[in-house]
Structure 1
Amino acid sequence: MKDLMGKAVRDYYHNENPEDLQTETSISELDELPVSYLFRDFSRMNKIEQKALKLAQGKVLDIGAGAGSHALYLQDERNLDVTALDISPESIEVCKLRGIKKAVAENMLYFSEGTFDTILLLMNGTGIFQSLRVIDIYLKKLYGLLNPKGQILIDSTDILYMFDADEDGGVYIPAEGYYGELDYIVHYKGESEDPIKWLYLDFNTLKNAAENNGFKIEKVLQEEDSYLAKITKR
């Protein structure tokens, strides 16, 4: 992994000629992602993020922490014990420089530093599951990281709206696999990451997967095609 997302985060933090990230998926064209978006404060976060941060409590694990904006808010404004976790070493270095006391560069599947009262997976957090074929592996890992009365706060987007519809309202979706399984590619300063698997889940599909792995789930907030879910142990 070239860690282009991390390089962009580092460049922005150190003011070393940062450029916008470019992202694309297997069903969408190139899109600009300003790196500044990853450094936004609470007032500039969307309603789903704000709701999740208000619900967070106890000892918190922020999975896919990026530049650390969620973790920093919970640590500094809510005085919670937060660990920022991201697979990007460059991003985690910036998390530390921004003042996050606990920041770990690791794949969540191999992370084993305790259990937590709240686990956050935000900014289309289901993406980290990659595919329905391996989602059980991730959910079992989350089950082991969660305290008995803990909560997982996770968001996603039902991307059915991105597919063409016929005159009767039927939607043309791929014949093979689940329509939310995409290839996701990041570009930065003329370099490109290898495509990674990214999973967008409609709520009912997430509900079925969660319940099959010993969880209860409720939808906390719906914003257009996106939602925030709260998952707890049964």
Structure 2
Amino acid sequence: MKDLFGKAILDFQTHNSPEDLITETSISEPDEMSVAYLFRSFDEMPKLEQEALLLAKGKILDVGCGAGSHALFLQNQRNLDVLPVDISSNAIKACQLRGLQNARVQDVLDIRGETFDTILLLMNGTGIFGTLAQTSKYLLALQSLLNPGGQILIDSSDIIYMFDEDEDGGKWIPGDDYYGELTFTISYKNETDAPFPWLYLDYNTLQNAANANGLHCELICEGEHFDYLARLF
């Protein structure tokens, strides 16, 4: 991986002629995304993200922190102890430049010997699971990082709306895989990263997976476009 997503973040932070990211999935055409969106303030965030940041408590792990906007709010506005992690070294450099000195390059599956009161996975937090088959592995890993009484706050979307309807009003979904399993590709400054799997989970499927792995799951709120925030505990 060329870490183009992180490169865009670091370019924006260091004023190094940032450009829009181009994102494409296995079911959608290329789309431009302004990297500035990743640097948004609390007031600019969607309702789901705001709700998650207000529900966060205690020692917090921010998984896939990106540019660090969520962690910055928790650190600077709520004075909470937050550990931002991301697999992108460029993104973590940007986080550190923004004042998140303890931000570190880390895969959540590799964290050992640390526990948290709140684990955040936002901006389609189920994406890092990759596929439905990997969901249990991630949920068990996240559960192992929770303190007693701890919580996982995670968001995603039900993307069934993106598929065509057949004559009977049902959805036509190609292939045998779960419809939320997409392949994602990122391009930036005329470079393209290797495609990677990215998972959107509808709420019922997340709830079933959570229950199967010994977690309770509750719906906190729903957004304006088939998206939702859930709490696992």
Q: TM-score, normalised by structure 2?
A: 0.98
Match of 1:203 in 2: 203
Match of 2:116 in 1: 116
Match of 2:148 in 1: 148
Shift of 1:101: 3.0
Match of 2:64 in 1: 64
Counterparts of 2:3 and 2:175, CA distance in 1: 33
Match of 1:107 in 2: 107
Match of 2:227 in 1: 226
Structure 1 gap ranges (5+): none
Shift of 1:166: 2.4
Counterparts of 1:186 and 1:47, CA distance in 2: 26
User: Which segment is superposed worse, 128-137 or 50-59?
Assistant: 128-137
Match of 2:185 in 1: 185
Moved over 2 A (4+): none
Shift of 1:148: 1.5
Shift of 1:79: 0.3
Aligned 1:1-234 pairs, distance under 5 A: 1-112=1-112, 114-223=114-223, 224-232=225-233
Counterparts of 1:34 and 1:145, CA distance in 2: 33
Counterparts of 1:24 and 1:110, CA distance in 2: 29
Paired AA for residue 229 in structure 1: A
CA RMSD, Structure 1 to Structure 2 (Å): 0.9
Q: TM-score, normalised by structure 1?
A: 0.97
Counterparts of 2:136 and 2:226, CA distance in 1: 24
Q: Deviations over 1:97-139 (max 9, x none)?
A: 1001321101111122510000000001000100111111111
Counterparts of 2:104 and 2:145, CA distance in 1: 15
Counterparts of 1:227 and 1:221, CA distance in 2: 6
User: Which segment is superposed worse, 105-114 or 54-63?
Assistant: 105-114
Shift of 1:174: 2.3
Counterparts of 1:172 and 1:158, CA distance in 2: 15
Counterparts of 1:81 and 1:30, CA distance in 2: 38
Per the alignment, in what secondary structure is the counterpart of residue 160 of structure 1?
A: helix
Q: Deviations over 1:146-181 (max 9, x none)?
A: 112000000000000000012432110123110000
Q: Percent identity?
A: 57
Per the alignment, in what secondary structure is the counterpart of residue 72 of structure 1?
A: helix
Counterparts of 1:184 and 1:82, CA distance in 2: 28
Q: Deviations over 1:26-81 (max 9, x none)?
A: 00000111010000000100000000000000000000100000000000000000
Counterparts of 1:113 and 1:88, CA distance in 2: 22
Per the alignment, in what secondary structure is the counterpart of residue 198 of structure 2?
A: strand
Per the alignment, in what secondary structure is the counterpart of residue 120 of structure 1?
A: strand
Paired AA for residue 226 in structure 2: D
Per the alignment, in what secondary structure is the counterpart of residue 15 of structure 1?
A: coil
